[in-house]
Protein backbone atom coordinates (compact mmCIF):
# COMPACT_ATOMS: atom_id res chain seq x y z
CA UNK A 1 0.00 0.00 0.00
CA UNK A 2 1.33 3.47 -0.83
CA UNK A 3 0.47 6.84 0.60
CA UNK A 4 -1.81 9.04 -1.55
CA UNK A 5 -0.15 12.15 -2.90
CA UNK A 6 -3.23 14.33 -2.42
CA UNK A 7 -5.72 14.77 0.38
CA UNK A 8 -8.74 12.52 -0.09
CA UNK A 9 -10.93 13.09 2.95
CA UNK A 10 -13.48 15.73 3.85
CA UNK A 11 -13.02 16.57 7.51
CA UNK A 12 -15.02 17.37 10.62
CA UNK A 13 -13.81 19.36 13.62
CA UNK A 14 -15.11 18.92 17.15
CA UNK A 15 -14.19 21.69 19.59
CA UNK A 16 -13.56 21.64 23.33
CA UNK A 17 -13.89 17.90 23.87
CA UNK A 18 -13.08 17.17 27.51
CA UNK A 19 -10.46 14.52 28.25
CA UNK A 20 -10.49 13.25 31.86
CA UNK A 21 -7.18 12.84 33.68
CA UNK A 22 -6.65 10.27 36.41
CA UNK A 23 -6.87 12.92 39.14
CA UNK A 24 -10.22 14.31 37.95
CA UNK A 25 -8.87 17.32 36.03
CA UNK A 26 -10.19 17.60 32.49
CA UNK A 27 -8.19 18.87 29.51
CA UNK A 28 -9.69 20.54 26.47
CA UNK A 29 -9.11 19.11 22.98
CA UNK A 30 -10.06 19.94 19.42
CA UNK A 31 -10.42 16.81 17.31
CA UNK A 32 -9.90 16.90 13.54
CA UNK A 33 -10.94 13.73 11.70
CA UNK A 34 -12.37 12.54 8.43
CA UNK A 35 -16.07 13.20 7.96
CA UNK A 36 -16.63 9.65 6.78
CA UNK A 37 -17.43 7.16 9.50
CA UNK A 38 -14.63 4.74 10.25
CA UNK A 39 -11.66 4.10 12.45
CA UNK A 40 -8.46 6.06 11.93
CA UNK A 41 -5.03 6.24 13.53
CA UNK A 42 -4.77 9.14 15.97
CA UNK A 43 -2.09 11.82 16.27
CA UNK A 44 -2.00 13.50 19.68
CA UNK A 45 -0.50 16.99 19.92
CA UNK A 46 -0.33 18.66 23.34
CA UNK A 47 0.54 22.33 23.57
CA UNK A 48 0.83 25.19 26.06
CA UNK A 49 0.53 27.68 23.16
CA UNK A 50 -3.24 27.37 22.43
CA UNK A 51 -4.74 24.52 20.47
CA UNK A 52 -6.89 26.76 18.28
CA UNK A 53 -4.21 28.78 16.49
CA UNK A 54 -4.06 29.12 12.71
CA UNK A 55 -1.05 26.79 12.58
CA UNK A 56 -2.82 24.14 14.68
CA UNK A 57 -5.90 24.37 12.48
CA UNK A 58 -3.83 23.95 9.31
CA UNK A 59 -1.89 21.03 10.78
CA UNK A 60 -4.96 19.27 12.12
CA UNK A 61 -6.86 19.75 8.88
CA UNK A 62 -3.92 18.51 6.82
CA UNK A 63 -3.51 15.19 8.58
CA UNK A 64 -7.26 14.63 8.93
CA UNK A 65 -7.63 15.03 5.17
CA UNK A 66 -5.16 12.15 4.77
CA UNK A 67 -7.08 9.82 7.04
CA UNK A 68 -5.93 10.62 10.58
CA UNK A 69 -7.75 11.72 13.71
CA UNK A 70 -5.74 14.61 15.12
CA UNK A 71 -6.26 15.46 18.79
CA UNK A 72 -4.99 18.92 19.71
CA UNK A 73 -4.89 19.34 23.49
CA UNK A 74 -4.32 22.38 25.71
CA UNK A 75 -1.97 21.14 28.43
CA UNK A 76 -3.02 21.30 32.06
CA UNK A 77 -3.59 24.84 33.27
CA UNK A 78 -3.36 26.49 29.86
CA UNK A 79 -6.13 28.02 27.74
CA UNK A 80 -9.33 25.89 27.93
CA UNK A 81 -7.90 23.11 30.12
CA UNK A 82 -8.43 22.86 33.86
CA UNK A 83 -5.73 22.58 36.52
CA UNK A 84 -2.54 24.49 37.18
CA UNK A 85 0.27 24.88 34.65
CA UNK A 86 3.61 23.84 36.15
CA UNK A 87 6.00 23.41 33.21
CA UNK A 88 6.81 19.73 32.56
CA UNK A 89 5.97 18.29 35.97
CA UNK A 90 2.49 16.95 35.12
CA UNK A 91 3.08 16.19 31.47
CA UNK A 92 4.16 12.53 31.67
CA UNK A 93 0.98 11.13 33.21
CA UNK A 94 -1.27 13.61 31.38
CA UNK A 95 0.29 12.49 28.10
CA UNK A 96 -0.36 8.85 28.96
CA UNK A 97 -4.00 9.60 29.74
CA UNK A 98 -4.51 11.59 26.52
CA UNK A 99 -3.01 8.85 24.35
CA UNK A 100 -5.04 6.09 25.96
CA UNK A 101 -8.21 8.21 25.77
CA UNK A 102 -7.68 8.71 22.02
CA UNK A 103 -6.99 5.00 21.48
CA UNK A 104 -10.29 4.09 23.16
CA UNK A 105 -12.49 6.32 20.98
CA UNK A 106 -14.81 4.64 18.46
CA UNK A 107 -13.17 6.59 15.62
CA UNK A 108 -9.64 5.34 16.44
CA UNK A 109 -7.90 2.16 15.28
CA UNK A 110 -5.99 2.02 18.57
CA UNK A 111 -2.78 3.14 16.87
CA UNK A 112 -1.55 6.50 18.21
CA UNK A 113 1.37 8.74 17.32
CA UNK A 114 2.50 11.97 18.89
CA UNK A 115 4.16 15.00 17.36
CA UNK A 116 5.22 18.57 18.08
CA UNK A 117 8.17 20.85 18.58
CA UNK A 118 10.01 22.44 21.49
CA UNK A 119 7.92 22.09 24.68
CA UNK A 120 5.62 19.82 22.68
CA UNK A 121 8.59 17.56 21.90
CA UNK A 122 10.13 17.26 25.34
CA UNK A 123 6.81 16.27 26.88
CA UNK A 124 6.58 13.43 24.33
CA UNK A 125 9.80 11.97 25.75
CA UNK A 126 8.53 12.32 29.32
CA UNK A 127 5.33 10.56 28.30
CA UNK A 128 7.19 7.80 26.45
CA UNK A 129 8.83 6.83 29.74
CA UNK A 130 5.37 5.94 31.10
CA UNK A 131 4.95 3.39 28.27
CA UNK A 132 1.41 4.11 26.99
CA UNK A 133 0.28 0.76 25.48
CA UNK A 134 -1.13 2.33 22.30
CA UNK A 135 1.72 4.75 21.49
CA UNK A 136 3.35 3.55 18.27
CA UNK A 137 5.68 6.38 17.10
CA UNK A 138 6.78 9.95 17.79
CA UNK A 139 7.93 12.99 15.81
CA UNK A 140 10.04 15.23 18.05
CA UNK A 141 11.20 18.56 16.64
CA UNK A 142 13.60 21.14 18.17
CA UNK A 143 13.53 19.15 21.39
CA UNK A 144 14.72 20.77 24.64
CA UNK A 145 17.22 18.73 26.62
CA UNK A 146 17.34 17.81 30.27
CA UNK A 147 17.95 20.63 32.75
CA UNK A 148 21.41 22.22 32.40
CA UNK A 149 22.35 20.49 29.13
CA UNK A 150 21.62 23.62 27.08
CA UNK A 151 22.39 26.06 29.89
CA UNK A 152 25.12 24.51 32.11
CA UNK A 153 25.00 27.48 34.46
CA UNK A 154 22.98 26.18 37.41
CA UNK A 155 20.34 28.89 36.91
CA UNK A 156 17.71 29.58 34.25
CA UNK A 157 18.81 31.70 31.31
CA UNK A 158 17.53 35.29 31.16
CA UNK A 159 15.42 34.43 28.11
CA UNK A 160 13.68 31.69 30.09
CA UNK A 161 11.97 34.40 32.14
CA UNK A 162 10.50 35.75 28.90
CA UNK A 163 9.07 32.31 28.14
CA UNK A 164 7.64 31.97 31.64
CA UNK A 165 5.99 35.38 31.28
CA UNK A 166 4.56 34.44 27.86
CA UNK A 167 2.99 31.25 29.25
CA UNK A 168 1.84 32.67 32.59
CA UNK A 169 -1.90 32.52 33.19
CA UNK A 170 -4.24 30.80 30.78
CA UNK A 171 -3.77 32.87 27.63
CA UNK A 172 -0.62 33.90 25.77
CA UNK A 173 0.92 37.07 27.19
CA UNK A 174 2.22 39.82 24.92
CA UNK A 175 6.01 39.77 25.38
CA UNK A 176 6.55 42.67 22.97
CA UNK A 177 5.37 45.25 25.50
CA UNK A 178 8.15 44.37 27.97
CA UNK A 179 11.62 45.95 27.93
CA UNK A 180 13.46 42.64 28.20
CA UNK A 181 16.90 44.09 27.64
CA UNK A 182 16.73 46.20 30.77
CA UNK A 183 15.22 43.32 32.75
CA UNK A 184 18.07 40.96 31.80
CA UNK A 185 20.56 43.37 33.39
CA UNK A 186 18.81 43.20 36.74
CA UNK A 187 20.53 41.62 39.74
CA UNK A 188 20.00 39.48 41.67
CA UNK A 189 18.39 36.99 39.31
CA UNK A 190 16.09 35.87 42.11
CA UNK A 191 14.07 39.09 41.88
CA UNK A 192 14.34 39.65 38.11
CA UNK A 193 10.77 38.41 37.65
CA UNK A 194 9.36 41.33 39.66
CA UNK A 195 10.29 43.73 36.86
CA UNK A 196 7.84 42.06 34.46
CA UNK A 197 4.91 43.09 36.62
CA UNK A 198 3.96 39.40 37.00
CA UNK A 199 6.16 37.69 39.59
CA UNK A 200 6.81 34.04 38.71
CA UNK A 201 6.68 31.31 41.32
CA UNK A 202 8.25 28.93 38.80
CA UNK A 203 11.24 31.23 38.27
CA UNK A 204 11.78 31.51 42.02
CA UNK A 205 11.51 27.77 42.58
CA UNK A 206 13.93 26.93 39.77
CA UNK A 207 16.48 29.32 41.26
CA UNK A 208 16.23 27.42 44.54
CA UNK A 209 17.76 24.38 42.80
CA UNK A 210 21.08 25.65 41.35
CA UNK A 211 22.48 22.25 40.44
CA UNK A 212 21.16 18.91 39.17
CA UNK A 213 19.40 17.59 42.26
CA UNK A 214 16.48 15.19 42.77
CA UNK A 215 14.00 18.01 42.17
CA UNK A 216 15.25 18.41 38.59
CA UNK A 217 15.80 14.70 37.99
CA UNK A 218 12.04 14.15 38.06
CA UNK A 219 11.84 15.74 34.61
CA UNK A 220 14.98 14.20 33.08
CA UNK A 221 14.68 11.76 30.18
CA UNK A 222 18.09 11.72 28.45
CA UNK A 223 19.48 9.21 30.96
CA UNK A 224 16.58 6.76 30.37
CA UNK A 225 16.60 5.92 26.66
CA UNK A 226 17.00 2.24 27.56
CA UNK A 227 13.40 2.42 28.82
CA UNK A 228 11.97 3.68 25.50
CA UNK A 229 10.97 1.20 22.79
CA UNK A 230 9.61 3.48 20.04
CA UNK A 231 10.49 4.69 16.55
CA UNK A 232 11.27 8.41 16.62
CA UNK A 233 11.74 11.00 13.89
CA UNK A 234 14.13 13.65 15.25
CA UNK A 235 14.07 17.09 13.56
CA UNK A 236 16.00 20.30 14.22
CA UNK A 237 18.10 23.04 12.62
CA UNK A 238 21.77 23.96 12.98
CA UNK A 239 20.69 27.37 14.30
CA UNK A 240 17.94 26.06 16.56
CA UNK A 241 18.73 27.56 19.96
CA UNK A 242 17.87 24.17 21.53
CA UNK A 243 19.70 22.19 18.83
CA UNK A 244 21.98 20.15 21.08
CA UNK A 245 19.20 17.80 22.20
CA UNK A 246 18.11 16.50 18.82
CA UNK A 247 21.38 14.90 17.54
CA UNK A 248 22.08 13.73 21.09
CA UNK A 249 18.70 12.02 21.37
CA UNK A 250 19.07 10.38 17.96
CA UNK A 251 22.58 9.10 18.69
CA UNK A 252 21.64 7.74 22.09
CA UNK A 253 18.46 6.08 20.87
CA UNK A 254 20.37 4.28 18.12
CA UNK A 255 22.71 2.89 20.80
CA UNK A 256 20.56 2.58 23.92
CA UNK A 257 16.87 2.14 23.02
CA UNK A 258 15.06 -0.75 24.67
CA UNK A 259 15.03 -3.04 21.63
CA UNK A 260 17.08 -3.66 18.51
CA UNK A 261 14.01 -2.78 16.44
CA UNK A 262 13.76 0.62 18.13
CA UNK A 263 17.48 1.21 17.74
CA UNK A 264 17.10 0.63 13.99
CA UNK A 265 13.95 2.79 13.79
CA UNK A 266 15.35 6.26 14.41
CA UNK A 267 15.66 9.02 11.83
CA UNK A 268 17.43 12.38 12.04
CA UNK A 269 16.67 15.44 9.89
CA UNK A 270 18.84 18.56 10.37
CA UNK A 271 18.29 21.65 8.22
CA UNK A 272 19.79 25.16 8.06
CA UNK A 273 17.00 26.37 10.29
CA UNK A 274 16.29 28.24 13.50
CA UNK A 275 13.91 27.10 16.24
CA UNK A 276 11.13 27.90 13.75
CA UNK A 277 12.17 25.06 11.45
CA UNK A 278 11.63 25.09 7.70
CA UNK A 279 10.06 28.56 7.59
CA UNK A 280 12.69 30.65 5.81
CA UNK A 281 15.65 30.04 3.51
CA UNK A 282 17.37 33.11 4.94
CA UNK A 283 18.56 33.70 8.50
CA UNK A 284 19.81 37.23 9.05
CA UNK A 285 22.31 37.99 6.30
CA UNK A 286 22.83 34.37 5.24
CA UNK A 287 20.71 32.88 2.43
CA UNK A 288 20.83 29.08 2.25
CA UNK A 289 18.92 28.91 -1.03
CA UNK A 290 15.44 27.68 -1.96
CA UNK A 291 16.53 24.05 -1.67
CA UNK A 292 16.87 24.54 2.09
CA UNK A 293 13.07 24.41 2.47
CA UNK A 294 11.38 21.03 2.07
CA UNK A 295 7.93 19.47 2.14
CA UNK A 296 8.18 18.81 5.86
CA UNK A 297 4.51 17.97 6.36
CA UNK A 298 4.75 15.41 3.58
CA UNK A 299 7.85 13.85 5.09
CA UNK A 300 6.26 13.63 8.52
CA UNK A 301 3.12 12.13 7.02
CA UNK A 302 5.20 9.40 5.36
CA UNK A 303 6.57 8.58 8.83
CA UNK A 304 3.13 8.17 10.30
CA UNK A 305 1.83 6.37 7.20
CA UNK A 306 4.47 3.71 7.80
CA UNK A 307 4.20 3.35 11.57
CA UNK A 308 0.47 4.00 12.11
CA UNK A 309 -1.05 2.67 8.85
CA UNK A 310 1.48 0.04 7.86
CA UNK A 311 2.03 1.55 4.42
CA UNK A 312 5.03 0.19 2.55
CA UNK A 313 6.21 3.60 1.37
CA UNK A 314 9.96 2.96 1.50
CA UNK A 315 10.76 5.50 4.21
CA UNK A 316 12.57 2.95 6.37
CA UNK A 317 14.72 1.83 3.44
CA UNK A 318 16.08 5.36 3.13
CA UNK A 319 19.28 6.35 5.00
CA UNK A 320 18.52 7.20 8.64
CA UNK A 321 20.26 10.61 8.62
CA UNK A 322 19.56 13.55 6.33
CA UNK A 323 21.58 16.73 6.88
CA UNK A 324 21.98 20.06 5.15
CA UNK A 325 25.64 20.99 4.66
CA UNK A 326 25.83 24.75 5.06
CA UNK A 327 28.32 26.66 2.93
CA UNK A 328 27.87 24.07 0.22
CA UNK A 329 24.12 24.49 0.71
CA UNK A 330 22.97 21.01 -0.23
CA UNK A 331 21.24 18.07 1.41
CA UNK A 332 23.09 14.82 1.99
CA UNK A 333 22.12 11.41 3.32
CA UNK A 334 24.21 9.62 5.93
CA UNK A 335 24.08 6.34 7.84
CA UNK A 336 24.79 7.48 11.40
CA UNK A 337 25.57 10.40 13.72
CA UNK A 338 28.34 11.29 14.28
CA UNK A 339 29.57 10.17 10.85
CA UNK A 340 31.70 7.02 10.95
CA UNK A 341 34.28 8.49 8.56
CA UNK A 342 34.92 11.53 10.77
CA UNK A 343 38.54 12.56 11.22
CA UNK A 344 38.59 14.10 14.69
CA UNK A 345 41.20 16.84 14.38
CA UNK A 346 42.59 19.18 17.01
CA UNK A 347 43.15 22.78 16.01
CA UNK A 348 45.45 24.25 18.65
CA UNK A 349 45.49 27.78 20.02
CA UNK A 350 48.70 29.75 19.47
CA UNK A 351 49.87 33.28 20.17
CA UNK A 352 52.77 35.28 21.53
CA UNK A 353 50.68 36.39 24.45
CA UNK A 354 48.47 38.93 22.75
CA UNK A 355 45.46 37.20 21.13
CA UNK A 356 43.17 39.94 22.43
CA UNK A 357 40.67 41.02 19.74
CA UNK A 358 40.82 40.24 16.04
CA UNK A 359 43.73 42.65 15.79
CA UNK A 360 45.84 40.48 18.12
CA UNK A 361 48.43 37.82 17.35
CA UNK A 362 46.37 34.68 17.95
CA UNK A 363 46.35 31.91 15.39
CA UNK A 364 44.90 28.43 14.98
CA UNK A 365 46.60 25.41 13.46
CA UNK A 366 46.78 21.63 13.64
CA UNK A 367 50.38 21.84 14.87
CA UNK A 368 51.01 21.22 18.55
CA UNK A 369 52.49 24.17 20.43
CA UNK A 370 56.25 23.60 20.22
CA UNK A 371 57.20 25.90 23.07
CA UNK A 372 55.88 28.61 25.28
CA UNK A 373 54.51 28.70 28.74
CA UNK A 374 53.04 31.27 31.05
CA UNK A 375 54.92 34.05 29.27
CA UNK A 376 53.04 33.30 26.03
CA UNK A 377 49.68 32.64 27.70
CA UNK A 378 46.85 35.00 26.81
CA UNK A 379 45.31 37.24 29.44
CA UNK A 380 42.17 39.29 29.63
CA UNK A 381 39.99 40.93 32.24
CA UNK A 382 36.41 39.81 32.66
CA UNK A 383 34.16 42.41 34.25
CA UNK A 384 30.57 41.23 34.80
CA UNK A 385 29.46 44.88 34.65
CA UNK A 386 30.62 45.00 31.01
CA UNK A 387 29.96 41.54 29.53
CA UNK A 388 30.67 40.46 25.97
CA UNK A 389 27.44 40.75 23.99
CA UNK A 390 25.76 37.77 22.38
CA UNK A 391 23.84 38.88 19.28
CA UNK A 392 20.22 37.84 19.71
CA UNK A 393 16.60 38.87 19.77
CA UNK A 394 15.54 39.85 23.27
CA UNK A 395 12.46 37.61 23.39
CA UNK A 396 12.61 33.84 23.73
CA UNK A 397 11.48 33.17 20.15
CA UNK A 398 15.04 32.71 18.82
CA UNK A 399 18.44 33.08 20.49
CA UNK A 400 21.27 33.75 18.05
CA UNK A 401 21.92 32.89 14.42
CA UNK A 402 24.66 33.13 11.74
CA UNK A 403 25.48 36.61 12.97
CA UNK A 404 28.58 38.70 12.19
CA UNK A 405 30.82 38.97 15.25
CA UNK A 406 33.54 41.10 13.61
CA UNK A 407 32.57 44.22 15.57
CA UNK A 408 32.40 42.37 18.89
CA UNK A 409 35.86 40.93 18.19
CA UNK A 410 37.28 44.43 18.58
CA UNK A 411 37.07 43.96 22.36
CA UNK A 412 40.19 43.06 24.32
CA UNK A 413 38.21 40.66 26.53
CA UNK A 414 37.62 38.47 23.48
CA UNK A 415 40.54 36.26 22.43
CA UNK A 416 40.62 35.48 18.72
CA UNK A 417 42.46 32.60 17.02
CA UNK A 418 42.20 32.09 13.25
CA UNK A 419 43.73 29.82 10.66
CA UNK A 420 45.43 31.18 7.59
CA UNK A 421 43.10 31.46 4.57
CA UNK A 422 42.23 27.88 3.69
CA UNK A 423 43.99 26.57 0.57
CA UNK A 424 41.08 24.20 -0.08
CA UNK A 425 37.57 23.48 1.15
CA UNK A 426 37.21 21.99 4.63
CA UNK A 427 34.02 20.30 5.81
CA UNK A 428 33.19 20.26 9.51
CA UNK A 429 30.19 18.04 10.29
CA UNK A 430 29.49 16.71 13.76
CA UNK A 431 29.72 17.60 17.45
CA UNK A 432 32.29 20.25 18.43
CA UNK A 433 34.34 20.10 21.63
CA UNK A 434 36.86 22.50 23.18
CA UNK A 435 39.71 21.40 25.43
CA UNK A 436 40.69 24.55 27.29
CA UNK A 437 43.45 25.03 29.85
CA UNK A 438 42.71 28.11 31.91
CA UNK A 439 43.26 29.80 35.24
CA UNK A 440 41.38 32.61 36.95
CA UNK A 441 41.85 34.99 39.85
CA UNK A 442 38.26 34.18 40.85
CA UNK A 443 36.82 31.22 42.77
CA UNK A 444 34.16 30.78 40.10
CA UNK A 445 33.93 32.14 36.57
CA UNK A 446 32.83 31.25 33.04
CA UNK A 447 34.59 30.41 29.79
CA UNK A 448 32.79 30.75 26.47
CA UNK A 449 33.90 29.28 23.14
CA UNK A 450 32.60 30.18 19.70
CA UNK A 451 33.36 28.61 16.29
CA UNK A 452 33.13 30.94 13.30
CA UNK A 453 33.65 31.02 9.54
CA UNK A 454 35.51 34.19 8.53
CA UNK A 455 34.76 35.21 4.96
CA UNK A 456 37.36 36.95 2.78
CA UNK A 457 35.39 40.20 3.25
CA UNK A 458 35.79 39.93 7.04
CA UNK A 459 32.28 38.71 7.88
CA UNK A 460 32.74 36.54 10.99
CA UNK A 461 29.82 34.11 10.80
CA UNK A 462 28.91 32.37 14.02
CA UNK A 463 28.43 28.63 13.55
CA UNK A 464 28.07 27.27 17.07
CA UNK A 465 29.23 27.88 20.62
CA UNK A 466 29.35 26.51 24.15
CA UNK A 467 30.33 27.39 27.69
CA UNK A 468 31.43 26.05 31.04
CA UNK A 469 30.80 27.43 34.52
CA UNK A 470 33.91 26.62 36.50
CA UNK A 471 32.08 25.34 39.58
CA UNK A 472 30.38 22.71 37.37
CA UNK A 473 33.55 21.50 35.62
CA UNK A 474 33.03 18.00 37.10
CA UNK A 475 29.32 17.82 36.34
CA UNK A 476 26.09 19.68 37.02
CA UNK A 477 25.44 17.53 40.08
CA UNK A 478 28.87 18.18 41.65
CA UNK A 479 29.48 21.91 42.09
CA UNK A 480 32.77 23.00 43.66
CA UNK A 481 34.66 26.25 43.55
CA UNK A 482 38.09 26.55 41.93
CA UNK A 483 41.41 27.58 43.42
CA UNK A 484 42.48 31.02 42.19
CA UNK A 485 45.56 30.85 39.98
CA UNK A 486 45.38 27.10 39.47
CA UNK A 487 45.28 25.74 35.91
CA UNK A 488 42.28 23.55 35.13
CA UNK A 489 41.41 21.64 31.99
CA UNK A 490 37.86 22.35 30.87
CA UNK A 491 36.02 20.24 28.29
CA UNK A 492 33.36 22.39 26.68
CA UNK A 493 30.49 21.04 24.58
CA UNK A 494 30.03 23.43 21.65
CA UNK A 495 27.03 21.57 20.18
CA UNK A 496 26.96 20.55 16.50
CA UNK A 497 27.24 21.89 12.99
CA UNK A 498 27.55 20.84 9.36
CA UNK A 499 29.42 23.47 7.41
CA UNK A 500 31.74 23.71 4.43
CA UNK A 501 34.49 26.28 4.93
CA UNK A 502 35.24 27.48 1.42
CA UNK A 503 38.67 28.06 -0.06
CA UNK A 504 40.03 31.42 1.12
CA UNK A 505 37.88 31.44 4.27
CA UNK A 506 39.33 31.09 7.78
CA UNK A 507 38.35 28.88 10.69
CA UNK A 508 38.14 31.00 13.83
CA UNK A 509 37.73 30.37 17.55
CA UNK A 510 36.75 33.01 20.08
CA UNK A 511 37.38 32.67 23.83
CA UNK A 512 35.64 34.95 26.33
CA UNK A 513 34.03 34.79 29.75
CA UNK A 514 30.56 36.04 28.94
CA UNK A 515 27.89 35.77 26.24
CA UNK A 516 25.17 38.06 27.49
CA UNK A 517 22.20 37.74 27.54
CA UNK A 518 22.28 34.19 26.16
CA UNK A 519 23.67 33.20 29.56
CA UNK A 520 23.52 35.04 32.86
CA UNK A 521 26.70 36.77 33.97
CA UNK A 522 28.96 34.91 36.35
CA UNK A 523 29.63 37.43 39.10
CA UNK A 524 32.95 35.72 39.96
CA UNK A 525 32.40 35.73 43.72
CA UNK A 526 31.41 32.10 44.30
CA UNK A 527 28.27 33.23 46.11
CA UNK A 528 25.08 31.15 45.85
CA UNK A 529 23.90 31.43 42.26
CA UNK A 530 21.16 33.90 41.49
CA UNK A 531 20.94 35.32 45.00
CA UNK A 532 23.52 38.13 44.95
CA UNK A 533 24.25 41.37 43.12
CA UNK A 534 27.84 41.66 44.32
CA UNK A 535 30.40 41.48 41.50
CA UNK A 536 34.13 40.87 41.27
CA UNK A 537 36.45 41.40 38.32
CA UNK A 538 38.31 38.26 37.20
CA UNK A 539 41.73 38.12 35.59
CA UNK A 540 41.72 35.19 33.16
CA UNK A 541 44.69 33.31 31.69
CA UNK A 542 44.40 30.94 28.72
CA UNK A 543 47.31 28.51 28.28
CA UNK A 544 48.50 26.97 25.01
CA UNK A 545 51.88 25.32 25.48
CA UNK A 546 53.14 21.71 25.20
CA UNK A 547 51.95 20.92 28.73
CA UNK A 548 48.61 22.73 28.25
CA UNK A 549 47.66 22.29 24.57
CA UNK A 550 44.33 24.11 24.38
CA UNK A 551 42.50 22.99 21.24
CA UNK A 552 39.14 22.83 19.56
CA UNK A 553 38.36 19.33 18.30
CA UNK A 554 36.72 19.55 14.88
CA UNK A 555 34.97 16.67 13.08
CA UNK A 556 36.55 16.92 9.63
CA UNK A 557 34.88 14.97 6.84
CA UNK A 558 37.07 13.76 3.94
CA UNK A 559 35.89 15.01 0.56
Residues annotated as catalytic (active site), given as ranges:
118, 240, 275
Three-state SS for 518-551 is: CCCCCCCCCCCCCCCCCCCCEEEEEEEECCEECE
- C-beta atoms surrounding 298 within 10 Å: 12
Cβ atoms of 452 and 552 within 8 Å: the answer is: no
Q: How far is CA 296 from CA 69, 198, 278, 343, 449, in A?
A: 19, 38, 7, 31, 33
Using CA atoms, how far apart are residues 135 and 216, in angstroms rounded to an integer? 26
The helix or strand, by DSSP H or E, that contains position 495, with its residue range, turns out to be: strand 488-501
Cβ atoms of 328 and 352 within 8 Å: the answer is: no
Cβ atoms of 91 and 78 within 8 Å: the answer is: no
The helix or strand, by DSSP H or E, that contains position 553, with its residue range, turns out to be: strand 551-556
- C-beta atoms surrounding 250 within 10 Å: 26
SS3 264: coil
Q: How far is CA 212 from the centre of its chain?
A: 18
Q: CA 437, 448, 220, 225: dihedral to nearest 10 degrees? A: -70
Burial 486-501 (b: 16+ CB within 10 A, else e): eeeebebbbbbbbbbb
Amino acid sequence: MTSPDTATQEIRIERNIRIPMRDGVTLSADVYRPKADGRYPAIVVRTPYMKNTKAAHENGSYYASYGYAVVYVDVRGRCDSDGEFVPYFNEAQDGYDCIEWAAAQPWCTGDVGTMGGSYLARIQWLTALTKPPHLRAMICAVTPSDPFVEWPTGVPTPHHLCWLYMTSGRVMQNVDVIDWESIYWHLPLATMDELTGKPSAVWREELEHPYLDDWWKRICYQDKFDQIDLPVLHISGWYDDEQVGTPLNFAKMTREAASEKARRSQKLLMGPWTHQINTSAKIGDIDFGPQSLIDLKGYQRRWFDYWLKGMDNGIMQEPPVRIFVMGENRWRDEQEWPLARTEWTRFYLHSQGRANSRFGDGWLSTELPASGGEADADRYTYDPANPVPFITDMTSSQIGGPDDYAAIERRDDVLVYSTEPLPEEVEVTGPIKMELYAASSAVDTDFMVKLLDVWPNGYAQRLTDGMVRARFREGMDRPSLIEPGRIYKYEIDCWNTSHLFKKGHRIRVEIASSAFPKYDRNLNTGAPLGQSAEMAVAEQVIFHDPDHPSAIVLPLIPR
